[in-house]
Chains A and B, each alone.
Chain A
């Protein structure tokens, strides 16, 4: 099951003095929906371009099903890239754009026509087959670009921020659509995104990139519940950070209280550290090994839940606690009220700061 399908081995890329990708290794499984997540400039696009064959490797190797593809030209690789700019051919119609890759494979005309029609059906753009890209909306162009890459049935489809140019509503529709298509076609997807929520929703596994290196690779659940660094914890979702100091075997918060944790990352002796807790793990009712008291500075209503902003001596910024609508029923907290929240040691992560 976990046989190595696409294998990236110690790959580096330098542009002049810039180390865009730095000794990165990663194994991607067959039929996996894999998301590359990272801040701007972390090397995501560079990595995809190396996979597609548009950048040479400065070091390392890439193998697909056991054979190296590092030396192959882009047109010889069984991978396709969907460009962030879509890169549709403006002088060709939608149908011609989609047929282009099949013509390059020298398929018989009848088969090309059949496959173009089939994929037009799938992306629901059959009625626009004869239009030019200029005459399409952003969302329609995006679907044509996707179809053009998918119709070749590549072994791996690379998508560089495919939803970046779409508005929020269309984005969430397309997220589900992508997921459906990936399932239907049984193709490995590697998707680059800025948007952590998008990665959580769509991906089977996520890699967090920083400065050309991988910080953490795991399932959305792992990444969200068990971040391995402060950066990863901060990057995904909302996170409360409380500065702590190591005193003996204990971690002590700014107000002198001891904060207990079952998840401590290696820290230099007596070094400054930081404790991270998700808002939904801070409970107004219930029990836990840790607790903090403070004054409610703001209440943000989100429909499904309430976010309480609590001013506390433990941290400079207010701590956020998430309350479900059920919990809030009857005794809705008010601004100015003092409050105590509890959380468990197993929900507390301590990282070097």
Chain B
């Protein structure tokens, strides 16, 4: 029976790693969120719900909603662009597909900060995009695109697009071509086939991509800081500030906790979507 233990042994290092870097911090946050901030920073060990209540204070909750809005919009845009790209790649001859995927994911292998700084160069008042518009004959005063909500969304979409391409490509490439042909054969047009067969069967890839971009975007603090230029705060910046400048760890922890709860909820939703589309779950009868 010793062979039965082998998987356990193989899993142990990864489990320890996850435990040390995921579970422990999460538990710490969970605990911290219910203590009071000390008068001079630090932590006072009296249990309180104040921090959690503060998260839902309109002042902060507005930031929460705004972040969710930006993350949601970024995720939606990334899904549309990413799905279209993945669809095009999956429609190519097999031998070209891995090459195209490689190029789609290529930016990923360079540094996040470098890529974000590159957008500063592109978007600023004398940047490439403004100059290009001038060169094309666009007259008049052009606003800087930098340091705006749009710049943040552009940055987030750009950064996370490869994830979405990969997550959408997976189910698209696995689709049996017979199935869309069967739909055509039964009288459906190309568009109807896409809407009623291809899309529903590949929705799990979109859901995965959406949740991924949303979760990474809502907690992101680098892109809002660099491309948003401190014009506004996202929840990630707020958490960052609580821990590193305001020195209010319990409130930072409370904010993080709510954030984690939102993410977990989304991940669960995504799992349900995947399950449904696979046809494994559904009404059963007899």
Contact = CB atoms under 8 A, between A and B. Distances in A.
Interface of B: 176, 178-179, 181-189, 192, 196-197, 200-201, 276-280, 282-286
Interface stretch (A8-16, A82-90, A175-183, A216-224): A82-90
Given A80-B185, A128-B286, A131-B285, A85 B192 contact: no
A71 to B, nearest CB: 15
Given A54-B181, A83-B178, A104 B282 contact: no
Contacts of B200: 91
B284 A74 contact: no
A75 B185 contact: yes
Interface stretch (A17-25, A132-140, A294-302): A132-140
Given A129-B285, A130-B285, A131-B285, A90 B184 contact: no
Nearest to A151: B186
Interface string A22-61: 0000000000000000000000000000001110000000
Nearest to A92: B279
A89 B277 CA distance: 10
B279 A75 contact: no
16 contacts: A74-B185, A75-B184, A75-B189, A80-B185, A87-B178, A87-B179, A89-B179, A89-B182, A91-B278, A100-B188, A104-B188, A129-B285, A130-B286, A131-B282, A134-B278, A152-B186
A127 B286 contact: yes
A93 B200 CA distance: 13
A6 B276 CA distance: 42
Contact of B185 (A52, A128, A129, A131): A52
The A contact surface, by secondary structure, is loop
A89 B185 contact: no
B190 to A, nearest CB: 8
B187 A105 contact: yes
Contacts of B278: 90-91, 134
A81 B183 contact: no
A132 B279 contact: yes
Nearest to B278: A90
A81 B182 CA distance: 8
A123 interface: no
Nearest to A83: B178
Given A104-B192, A134-B278, A90 B181 contact: no
Nearest to B197: A89
A54 B183 CA distance: 12
A148 interface: yes
Contacts of A54: 181, 184-185
Contacts of A52: 185
A333 interface: no
A201 interface: no
B248 to A, nearest CB: 48
